[in-house]
Chain A
């Protein structure tokens, strides 16, 4: 059963400016695994996509504040992502009986787009 759906659109230029100003602070809102993925990625737009994916998950969970590091998103292959929740976000999802979160995204020349779907388990 679908509990929530979230979509998000991020301007690549906005993220590029952000990165140029704060590249030393990425570890404050990305997990070590996400940081490794960005360092290894040939696509400079991966950071923008991660922003969009995380934001989409927040929306799908109907959570109204950003605990960036508590939503980890790992790319596992072509169109395959794993979402790991921790801390307050995990507690929030558990209270809402969320069993699975499906995400995907896409990058164009100007934007990163993402959607997330939170699926509820049997009660």
Chain B
């Protein structure tokens, strides 16, 4: 891992340990916040607020995790994200890897795609913007 991303990963790990009450060694780059680390709705708020404090950045609503994409009937049909919806998700969340999700794009599985790596990539992008 690049040194910059390793540094970010270490700090993200501290935030997740504090927010989710998990052991530091449970947190891997590929860990899903919900499936592997047990994050629930209140935890996502906690994580965002802790990341903001740790990294000294403001994370606007919908920037790190999606908002309002799923409420659009063009983007969700019969519990699945439509191809149009996938395009929108990728546009709004360029730091997220949707390759596995796309194979079976059930809306109920979307939160499983939110990984530690996704947060690290997002914050690395923010660092680049600042430089």
Contact = CB atoms under 8 A, between A and B. Distances in A.
Interface in A37-88: 51, 55, 58, 63-68, 87-88
Kindly state the interface size class of chain A when it binds its partner. 20 to 34
A51 to B, nearest CB: 6
Interface of A, secondary structure class, is: helix
Interface of B, secondary structure class, is: helix
Contacts of B84: none
B65 interface: yes
Interface stretch (A10-18, A102-110, A115-123): A10-18
Contacts of B71: 63, 67, 88-89, 91-92
A88 B42 contact: no
Contact of B68 (A21, A55, A88, A95): A88
Interface residues of B, number: 20
B110 interface: yes
Interface string B43-72: 011100110000000000100011110111
Interface of B: 41-42, 44-46, 49-50, 61, 65-68, 70-73, 107-108, 110-111
Interface of A: 10, 14-15, 18, 21-22, 25, 28-29, 51, 55, 58, 63-68, 87-89, 91-92, 95
